[in-house]
Structure 1
Amino acid sequence: MAQYRVAVNKEVCIGCGVCYSTCPEVFEPDDEGKSQIVSKYRSSSQSISEGFIDDSVAQCAESAKDTCPVQAITVEKKG
């Protein structure tokens, strides 16, 4: 099964909520209302919330990336 690195640049994120509305399996709001990766997949820092997901939620994450109005989300296939 393929692995994907997914990340939210929290310095760019405006907290609109589109990503966690589109893909709650991967994204959720943090305490400030900005997007972060859900704890199941997360390995975060202060300015970047990132984690690794598999094929089962990759399309969902790609949809959220495509709908982000400030392009704060990246999804990269690993390997």
Structure 2
Amino acid sequence: MKAVVDKDVCVSCGLCPSTCPDVFSMDDDGKAVAITGKVPEELEDSAKEAEEGCPVSAITVE
């Protein structure tokens, strides 16, 4: 699985890094960013939870 954040849609709410801090963080521009590369298997459920919880659907995990 790979996680992607659409920075044009992100509203900087901070939900994703609070839900899955090993995959998501806040970038210098205040928008969320995902790790590059594959989401580790043990973090997939947490990353999907962040995707589902995003209030503006800026996250894709597939």
Which 4+ stretches in 1 moved above 6 angstroms? none
Greater strand content: 1
1:27-55 superposed Cα distances (whole Å, 9 cap, x missing partner): 00001211001xxx41xxxxxxxx32121
Greater helix content: 2
Does 2:11 correspond to 1:14? yes
Partner of 1:24: 21
Partner of 1:60: 46
**TM-score (structure 2 length as normaliser):** 0.92
Structure 2 counterpart SS, 1:52 = coil
2:10 partner amino acid: C
**TM-score (structure 1 length as normaliser):** 0.73
Partner of 1:47: none
